[in-house]
Amino acid sequence: MVNKIAFFSDIDDTLIQTKRKTDFSKKTVVASYDKDGNESSYFYEGTKIFIDKIIDSDINFIPTTARNLASYQRTVFYKNPKIKYAILNFGGLILKDNKVDQEWDEYISKEYKKITPIKTIFKDLEELLDNNIQIKIIDGYYISIYNKNKLDNIEVLKEIKTGLDGFISKHNEYYIYENGNSFGILPNFLNKEYGVKYLMEKLSPILSIGAGDNISDLDFMKSTDFKLLPHNDLF
C-alpha cells in the first residue's frame, strides 16, 4: 500500500444517486440496495467505467462516506476485494479489509467519553423539533434529522435550520451538517477530514485525490493534492 496513489471519494451524489435523483434516459448501473433488497442507487454508465478503471489500477480507491456500516454493506463497493479501506460514519469508523480498524476505533471511543452523550443531545432535540421530523441516532455516532414528510419544502427546512442553529449555540461540542432535506448533529471531532488524515499517515501515498459533492466534503478534500467535483450547482 505504501507510495501508491490514494483516491478518497464520497459516494452518494458524487459517484451514485438515488432513484429519485437519477436520470434514467441515460444508461445506468445498480450501485446499492435498500434493506429489502430493492435497487436504491445507481451509477451512470460512464462513472461506473471510470471507477472500475480506478479500482483495477494501482490506485488505492477509498470510499469516504457518511453511510453507516449496514448501508455501506448494501453497496457494490463493500463486496469488491480490491477495496482495502473505507471511511464510514463521517469518519467515525474505518474499515481495513472490511474489518474495523481497532486503533482508530479506540481513539474515537475516547473522544466520545469527553463530550455530552449523544443520547442526552437526542432527547433535547426531540423536545425541540416537530413530531413530523424524523430524528434518530445512527450507530451511536451522530444524530440524523430528516425532513421526510415535506421533501424539498424550503420554508420547513429554514425553520429546522433556525431551530438547530439556536440549539448548537448552546451545545458547542457539536456542529450541524446539511445535505438537502437532511441534517446531522455531529461531535466536532467527527469529520471525514480526520479519517482521511489518519489513513494518509498510514499509507504515505505519493499522490492523493479527493472527490465530493457537498461543501462539508471540502474539509477532507483540502487535505489531498487534487480535488474532483461532480457537475452540479453546489460549487
Q: What pLDDT was estimated at residue 128? A: 86
Ordered per-residue pLDDT tens for the chain, 235 residues = 455 999 999 999 999 999 989 999 999 999 999 999 999 999 999 999 999 999 999 899 999 999 999 999 999 999 999 999 999 999 999 999 999 999 999 999 999 999 999 999 999 998 888 767 889 999 999 999 987 666 567 787 888 888 899 999 999 999 999 887 789 999 999 999 999 999 999 999 999 999 999 888 999 999 999 999 887 645 4
Give the architecture (CATH level 2) of 5-92+190-228.
3-Layer(aba) Sandwich (3.40)
For residue 203, the surrounding DSSP H or E stretch is: helix 192-203
* Residues whose CB falls within 8 Å of the CB of residue 165, separated by 6 or more in sequence, listed in order: 176
* Residues whose CB falls within 8 Å of the CB of residue 185, separated by 6 or more in sequence, listed in order: 121, 125, 142, 143, 145, 164, 167, 168, 174, 175, 176, 177
User: Residue 141 is which amino acid?
Assistant: Y
For residue 109, the surrounding DSSP H or E stretch is: helix 102-112
Q: What CATH number was assigned to the domain covering residues 111-187?
A: 3.30.70
Q: What pLDDT was estimated at residue 233? A: 47
- Boundaries of every domain in the chain: 5-92+190-228, 111-187
